[in-house]
Structure 1
Amino acid sequence: NVMAWRSLYRMFVLTGDSPEERGVVACMAALLLFELLLLFKQGSFLDHHVYFAFIMMIGRMDSIMRREKTAELIGQQRRKMWEYYQQVLALQPQRRVAGS
């Protein structure tokens, strides 16, 4: 249960620039809270399989989102390094070959 709420918080932070994804995360949090309230009303953790299904879906969404965001960050870093490398090469003087 605590891991699911931690995953929701982490996903909410990761989706800071996308209101659509942030809405999906907020909806999943609301559904998880609703299922938790129903679980307390009905009385037994063992009989309520929907709550555990939501926890598994949230964990899966978290792992997919972290993988995508990590890949995006790595791609951005590679592009920045490539641009920097090209700028450094442009600033270096051209070497002349002897005899030409």
Structure 2
Amino acid sequence: IYVPLGLAKYNPKRFFIATLTGKLVLSYSIVFISHHLGMSLVEPYLENITDVTTVYIGIIIFGVMMTLVIVLLLRLNWEKILGRFVPWTLDENNEK
């Protein structure tokens, strides 16, 4: 939805306010639902675990994997990738 709004020259201030409001509502809803329903969904999986070290190790592994994915996404040459798959998105006037 971001690209079509940019192409339509949508007002950036209105876009930011609408996006921020939507993200806040979505985040609050997720936290509220997770708080009230989360433990009843997670508790059956955790009741047989006597040593919580495996849970901590899983959280650490997940954090490392997410960090690696973010670093990879930041290091990719998106201009080259976009040029290969969707070349009309690149502006010929901004050649380096």
- Shorter-chain TM range is 0.3 to 0.5
| TM-score for both structures, normalised by structure 1 | 0.32
Tell me the TM-score normalized by structure 2.
Answer: 0.34
Query: RCO (CA 8 Å, sep 6+): is it higher in 1 or 2?
Result: 1
Give the greater-gyration-radius structure (CA). 1
